[in-house]
Amino acid sequence: MMHAIPDILSAPDISDIRARLLAADWIDGNATSGTQSALAKRNRQLPEEAPLAAELGNRILDALGRSPTFVAAALPLKVYPPLFNAYAGGEAFGTHVDSAIRIRRGTDFRIRSDLSATLFLSDSDSYDGGELVIEDGLVPHRIKLPAGHLLLYPASTLHRVEPVTRGTRLAAFFWIQSMVRDTPARTMLFDLDRSIQALGAALAPGHADIIRLTGLYHNLLRRWADA
């Protein structure tokens, strides 16, 4: 299941991050590619070990922690530190599937990639092309979100980035190992959580039905969670 989560970053944060990325030194995007992805990938990337990547990545991780929707949808156990890429002048990323295990070079940090995430950093009208196309069913989803909005989607899906023919597409991307690795179970928990929140806004505090449903949510999470 895909989730478009708005306003992960504020407008001032977006402007600052974008300006600093545009002034950064970029490298070939295949620095972090697997064998399959390297055949399809044409873009640029901020070096993973660059101090700027760590600083901006930590800002994004802090913002994710403040997003109840992200936490409810992803149920994160581990989040790979965000990476940053840029597309311009016809650059694209052909159809691929993300690696199942992501290992951070030079460390013992590794995650199982249950979910992939793209945080759009460029205004959608500032570039042509660059849609994230996800093949999830019979009809591919073509997604181009406003700056500061996040797309969360199963890492197991085939996806691609269309060529950018005008302007520059900047984004952060990363992966999440969820406490609940099963996608249908995670989706049911998210739907149940949203229903509890809606009922909480409509009913009196401490209503018996809200307490009962909250108990059900936590008992299902206890049954399905890895941690």
Instruction: Provide the pLDDT for residue 38.
Output: 58
Instruction: Provide the pLDDT for residue 205.
Output: 82
Instruction: Provide the pLDDT for residue 33.
Output: 54
Q: Is 142 helix (H, G, I), strand (E, B) or coil?
A: strand
Q: Return all residues near 43 (Cβ < 8 A) that are at least 6 apart.
A: 29, 85, 86, 87, 91, 92, 93, 161
Same domain assignment for residues 25 and 125? yes
From first to last of its 227 residues, what are the pLDDT tens digits of the chain? 899 999 999 999 999 999 999 999 999 977 665 555 556 789 999 999 999 999 999 999 999 999 999 999 999 999 999 999 999 999 999 999 999 999 998 899 999 999 999 999 999 999 999 999 999 878 899 999 999 999 999 999 999 999 999 999 999 999 999 999 999 999 999 999 999 999 988 888 889 999 999 999 999 999 999 97
CATH number (domain holding residue 63) = 2.60.120.620
Same domain assignment for residues 43 and 101? yes
Same domain assignment for residues 113 and 198? no
Range of the domain at 194: 183-224
Same domain assignment for residues 14 and 93? yes
Same domain assignment for residues 204 and 162? no
Instruction: Provide the pLDDT for residue 203.
Output: 87
Same domain assignment for residues 132 and 100? yes
Token pair for residue 153?
Answer: 């989607």
Listed residues 159, 178, 197: the one ending a domain: 178
Question: pTM for the complete prediction?
Answer: 0.92
CB atoms within 10 A of CB 166: 13
| Residue from 145, 141, 103, 155 nearest 120 by CA | 145
Same domain assignment for residues 38 and 9? yes
Listed residues 143, 161, 178: the one ending a domain: 178
Same domain assignment for residues 172 and 209? no
Same domain assignment for residues 109 and 205? no
CATH number (domain holding residue 217) = 4.10.860
For tokens 């009196």, the residue is: 204
Same domain assignment for residues 76 and 147? yes
Same domain assignment for residues 204 and 121? no
Q: How many domains does the chain have?
A: 2
Helix (H) / strand (E) element for 132: namely: strand 132-135
What whole-number distance in Å separates Cα of residue 140 and Cα of residue 154?
Answer: 14
Same domain assignment for residues 173 and 194? no
